[in-house]
Amino acid sequence: MQIAIKNKILRLELGDITESAADAIVNTANSALAGGGGVDGAIHRAGGPSIMEECRKIGGCPTGSAVITGGGSLYAKHVIHTVGPVWRGGGKNEAELLASSYRNSLKLASKHNLRSVAFPSISTGAYGYPLEEAAAVAMKAVISHLSENELPEEVTFVLFGEKAFNAYEKVLKGMNL
């Protein structure tokens, strides 16, 4: 599924983000940039050791922020590492921190003149954020960036499994754009 936002594109895809050919793919990192499971493990496995070497030099990233490295042997030339919030019931500023992860990732993409970015569903794996609530925050943040900035021109959510894809599709269709 895809929709136009001004002259830009927001797309939902089912798949594995490590196979994306976007200019940058976004990683669900932890604040130590130390690598982990889920998307993080998959990206480091597929992209090779140079990504971790760069992460070590950067040292860390607070929740809601983002940093950028090269893409190693991935198709994507860059990896944007962002740290989403751990879900603690919804009263600990999770929505604002999640929106901030998307916003800061997109700002970094724009600053580096990147045309296309692929996001996974940040925080909805090990960090436990409920899918539909995360989808609403994610797409609102992306749509607002796309409507106010020149770059990136294309944002794709690469969703791992029908459950995540269906949740994002349902939320996007319900947004009345």
Residue 100 near ligand ADP by CB under 6 A: no
Residue 119 near ligand ADP by CB under 6 A: no
23 among known catalytic residues: no
Residue from 25, 28, 29, 40 carrying the catalytic annotation: 40
Residue 71 near ligand ADP by CB under 6 A: no
- In angstroms, give the least distance from the CB of 150 to ligand ADP: 27
The single residue among 71, 72, 84, 152 that binds ligand ADP, judged by CB under 6 A, is 84
Total site size for ligand ADP, rule CB under 6 A: 21
Residue 67 near ligand ADP by CB under 6 A: no
Residue 5 near ligand ADP by CB under 6 A: no
Residue 125 near ligand ADP by CB under 6 A: yes
Q: What is the 3-state secondary structure (H, E, C) of the chain?
A: CEEEECCEEEEEEECCHHHCCCCEEEEECCCCCCCCCHHHHHHHHHHCCHHHHHHHHHCCCCCCCEEEEECCCCCCCEEEEECCCCCCCCCCCHHHHHHHHHHHHHHHHHHCCCCEEEECCCCCCCCCCCHHHHHHHHHHHHHHHHHHCCCCCEEEEEECCHHHHHHHHHHHHCCCC
Active site residues: 40
What are the residues binding ligand ADP (CB under 6 A)?
16-18, 28, 38-40, 42, 84, 120-127, 158, 160-161, 164
